Amino acid sequence: MHLRLGAVVFAACLATMASDAVPVNSVVAAVRTSIAKKHKDAATAESLDGMKLAQRLDDRVIEILESEGAGPQTLGALQRLRDASRLLPAPLDPPPGMAPPPPPSSEEENRTWQDAAGKAQDYVRSLPNFVCTETIHRWADASGREDWQPSATIVADLTYFGQKENYKLLTVDGKRSDRELPDVGGAISQGEFGSILATIFHSGAQTEFRWDHWTTLHKRPTSVYFFRVAAALHPHELWFRNGPNDLIKTVAGLHGYVYVDAATSSAMRISSIAEDIPADFPVRRSSTVLDYDYADIGGTRYLLPFRAEVRIDSRNLQSLNAVEFRNYRKFQAETTVSFGK
């Protein structure tokens, strides 16, 4: 009874805050209280959706709250607040506990990027042959207003062998299927195991980069870099399938952010958006947020894709995929593992 009363009081406080424009500090305090008291993620997100900010909410604050334990629905609500507050003035001071360290020197900035590039270039060669289970939760919206409606959930076995990926479809909405993965239809992403790293850090890509900000990811200090790869220098390939025998391809540029662990110089998150997509191509927007974490395969820990959020907008449909990679095991072995620190 006490916990339920506490949740009701907390929701009432958030509702009161929603009636007037509030500072970023108040939103941070509310989310931290929700995390500490273990309130339901959906209830916190619903209350945040009713708020109006008086200041600009930036990605760094959201990233730190994520590292502190904010749930996926709360993060979605915070991102909507971020988008709605882009033109507002920034807070004079950072929220408590979020004061960033000083920016790196130009030498440190370049050295960290080069270290991350070296690790990325060795990444694909270092991976063993393995199998994992990929689950794709999908939503679609034909209205253009991000009124997302759930679509089929897909489960497949992903085999990585000889530095190539192969997909075996297991189920569609819980029912076994013998079809090929592309034949299911809808938005499908592939190539998370090195392709995007190879595009960004390819030696011939002449990637534009600059240090952007400090943040906290997986509770670890992280350096965030903006990057841009021009399509003319090292193109990013987009595919669009109208039907089983109608596959269209094009190339585009890519820009976004690389999150580099300050201690290991490993890329732990990549947030990317395709740019300069040809006007006659069916896809109008393609963006991906890919998170990495450590998993054990055959007794050795590897940095591997953990989850991804992929958005693809075509002329008539918006698609959103939440992808999970789990159950990593050595190729042809039965041992199963889970992510952990």
DSSP states along 189-234: ---TTTHHHHHHH-TTS--EEEEEEEEEETTEEEEEEEEEE-TTTS
CA 328, chain centre distance (Å): 20
Degrees to nearest 5, angle at CA 322 with 95 and 340: 70
213 and 72, same structural domain?
Answer: no
For strands 52-53 and 21-22, give the pairing. parallel
169 and 275, same structural domain?
Answer: yes
CA dihedral 290, 294, 299, 300 (to 10 degrees): 80
Angle, helix 41-49 to helix 2-18, in steps of 10 degrees: 20
User: In whole angstroms, how far apart are CA 229 and each of 59, 172, 191, 253, 328?
Assistant: 22, 36, 17, 6, 31
What is the pLDDT at residue 335?
44
What is the pLDDT at residue 126?
82
pLDDT per residue as tens, the chain (341 positions): 444 434 444 444 544 444 589 999 999 999 999 999 999 999 999 999 989 999 999 999 999 999 999 998 999 899 999 999 999 999 999 999 898 889 999 999 999 999 999 988 887 778 888 999 999 998 989 887 778 888 889 999 988 887 778 889 999 989 998 887 777 766 666 666 667 888 898 877 789 999 999 999 988 999 999 999 988 877 677 877 666 667 788 888 999 999 999 999 999 999 999 999 999 888 889 999 999 999 999 889 988 999 999 998 988 889 899 999 999 998 864 444 444 44
User: In whole angstroms, how far apart are CA 313 and each of 31, 128, 141, 277, 288?
Assistant: 31, 34, 9, 12, 12
Kind and range of the H or E run holding 300? strand 300-314
- What span, in angstroms and rounded, lies between the C-alpha atoms of 341 and 326? 15
Residue 15: give the domain boundaries.
2-84
What is the pLDDT at residue 15?
45
- Cα dihedral across residues 164, 295, 77, 94: positive or negative: negative
278 and 163, same structural domain?
Answer: yes
Inside any domain, residue 336: no
Q: Is 247 left (phi over 0), alpha (psi -120 to 50) or beta?
A: beta
- Residue 303: closest CA among 154, 60, 116, 69: 116
> At 226, which CATH number?
2.50.20
326 and 257, same structural domain?
Answer: yes
Residue type, 291: D
282 and 144, same structural domain?
Answer: yes
167 and 53, same structural domain?
Answer: no
73 and 193, same structural domain?
Answer: no
What is the pLDDT at residue 61?
94
Q: Which of 45, 65, 84 is the last residue of a domain?
A: 84
* Structural domains counted in the chain: 2
Q: Which pTM was predicted?
A: 0.82
165 and 289, same structural domain?
Answer: yes
51 and 122, same structural domain?
Answer: no
- What span, in angstroms and rounded, lies between the C-alpha atoms of 65 and 261? 17
